[in-house]
Amino acid sequence: MASRNYLQGILLACAAGFFWGSMGVAAQYLLQRASFEVFDLVSIRLLGAGLLLLLYETLVSKRFDLKAVLKKRNAIDILIYGLGLVAAQATFFLSIEKSNAATASLMVTTVPLFVTAWTAYAEKRAITRREWLSLAMAAIGVGCIVTKGRLDTVDFSTAGVIWGIVSAGFVAFGTIQPKRVLKEIPVGVLVGAGMLAGGLLLIVASPPDFVRMQWRLDTAAVYFYIAAFGTVAAFCCYLRSLAFIPAPVASLLACIEPLSAVILGVLLMGLTLNAVELFGIAVIFAMTVMLTCYGRRG
């Protein structure tokens, strides 16, 4: 049973990475072909996803308990989680602005390091050799996929690197912080309420320009995918995986995000892969197999 639960956690974390990666492809479509602005897309994505998930939790699963959500300590934790979501998004885009997307993506590979270091500290132990190897494999694999073997595509500007690392810290915070409140309210309710709170705060701080956005049948469908799968399904799968596998393992497996984006780019946009990218894919796959086998043996 333990082995089956661990495998379920592995699959959930991988699914989260896939949904996040596919969301990147969908978001690129809206940004390039429908005149969406970055922060406008982030705010309406969080707002739409939060409303969609809370509607599901209320009408379908019937797990939404307003009293539990409004309980003082739970409400504070949910608000903090929502602020963390917004902060992670904002600092990631600031990293892109100050450098470029490749640099920002590479800095976010430090998320598993933050999570692993905190877990080791909380458990009063040293980081194991297996964890160091997994961290190295994740960084190498993602680096190869993101840069395509060309280091000149990476702009290691001080501001870009700092904002990227800060974003990684907020992502790691979002992995660790909700553990207490998840014991009292379901994952879907936490994610939905957190996204709704974060989306509303961002909309107040930076009202979206709906006039500029080109709403058509295709863009509406892409937006729905981003909200329903790239956001709701991704976060729910990721947080649900924490019930079966340790947080460091979940954060490592979420590193398949750029891999899924590349695969979708090949299938949908006709992109080609070079040898370095294929090597990166192989390293990520090997890391996933290693973590799966180790967990099942454990």
Amino acid at 229: F
Model confidence at 80, pLDDT cuts 50, 70, 90, reads very high
User: Does the pLDDT of residue 43 top 80, yes or no?
Assistant: yes
Query: Whole-angstrom Cα distance, residue 66 to residue 189?
Result: 10
Count of structural domains within the chain: 1
Task: For the beta carbon of residue 94, count every other beta carbon within 10 angstroms.
Answer: 18
Query: For residue 21, what are the domain limits?
Result: 2-297
pLDDT (mean) for 271-290? 80
Other C-beta atoms closer than 10 Å to the C-beta of 233 total 22
Least confident segment among 13-22, 30-39, 98-107: 98-107
CB 284 within 8 A of CB 145: yes
* Cα separations in angstroms, 118 against 125, 158, 250: 10, 25, 14
Rg from Cα positions in the chain: 19
Q: Mean pLDDT across the stretch 165-173?
A: 88
User: Is 90 exceeded by the pLDDT of residue 86?
Assistant: no
Across the chain, mean pLDDT equals: 82
The pLDDT, as a whole number, for residue 297 is 52
pTM above 0.85, yes or no: no
Q: Residue 1: what pLDDT? A: 54
Rounded to an integer, the average pLDDT of 67-76 is 88
C-alpha–C-alpha distance, residues 140 and 149, integer Å? 11
- CB neighbours of 50 closer than 8 A, spacing ≥ 6? 191, 192, 193, 194, 195, 196, 197, 198, 199
Cβ neighbors of 235 (< 8 A, separation 6 or more) are 16, 191, 195
- Asked if the model's pLDDT at residue 128 lies above 90, the reply is no
With residues binned 3-state (H G I as helix, E B as strand, rest as coil), the percentages for the chain, rounded to 5, are 80, 0, 20
pLDDT of residue 295: 55
pLDDT digits (tens, 9 = 90+) for 241-262: 888 888 888 888 887 777 777 7
pLDDT band at 98 (very low <50, low <70, confident <90, very high): confident
Distance of alpha carbon 249 from alpha carbon 293, whole angstroms: 12
Residues in the chain, overall count: 298
Please provide the distance, in angstroms rounded to a whole number, between the alpha carbons at the two ends of the chain.
12
Residue 221: band (very low, low, confident or very high) from pLDDT cuts 50, 70, 90: very high
Which of the four pLDDT bands, split at 50, 70 and 90, describes residue 172? Answer: confident
Closest CA to 41 of 234, 222, 263: 222
